[in-house]
Structure 1
Amino acid sequence: MHSIAQTATAPSTLPEQAITASLTAEIMHDPDDGQVTLVASSQGNQGDLQVVTVDQMLARVTEARTQLDQIEHLAKVFQAQTTLAAVLAEHGARMEEWNPDTAPSDLRDKFVAAVQVIDGQIVVVVPLGQDPLLRAAVVAELISDVKAPA
């Protein structure tokens, strides 16, 4: 039997983060000579508006798509962490993070979460640094299967 060591209560607040994605693309007619140009800007005030080639525009699109993917992930992490906090509060449970580096090698990569009722309180133990999306799903499922004794 393996023992769990080095637990710490999980932080209850989310770290502040900001990710910005901005890209404006426009086909314009040059007011001087009427030539059609492709222009791009990545600043809200269009302070960096400039004529670009199609390849340059596509490179900016790829960069913006990466930023949008990061924003989507940030939203999903926020949802997972706030849902997790609500589930823990609803069940009067607490969550502790465990440093998997202290585990025997046969458990290190396999441990996802454990739950136990201690002195009438549900205690969930999760690996330190676990993906928040996985954590929220696993903890919610474990807690739904456990009822703390009254």
Structure 2
Amino acid sequence: NTIKLIPDGDCNAFNPTNSSENSEKRFVNVNAILTDSNDNPWVVDSGLFGSRTFVNGSKLVKINLNTNIVEQIYYTSSLNPPLGYALNDVRIGSRHAYLTESGLGSVVIINLENDQVRRVLYNHPSTKFADPTIVRMEERIVLNVRFVFY
């Protein structure tokens, strides 16, 4: 068995200390990889390196394993991602990709046919981390961090 970089070594050669690096074509910070029904890997790149976000570094990349080339790159830079924005995971549908944005809490939807990108459920309770010190059932507190039952 051998290890082979996909799609190639250049895509995996990002150097954050070199300002001339091309974050559009190289992986900055891969957060997730999902394989679709055609065995094509889809790579979520948050574009974050430390506290720095690289322009066009935040993207979804589709790779064709038969040809070992990048088939499509979907950028989220049109959203003007705010500080703290961090793509995390992806699910692929027939026409859309759905990405969780866990930094600030939202869902990013990419139209795979026309590359349009939109961000939904920003600041919505369903995309926020719940208070881990409180357990709720049917909207009532039933247990708190001190293990006091209500």
Q: Structure 2 length as normaliser, TM-score?
A: 0.26
Which structure's residues are more often helix, by fraction? 1
Greater strand share, 1 or 2? 2
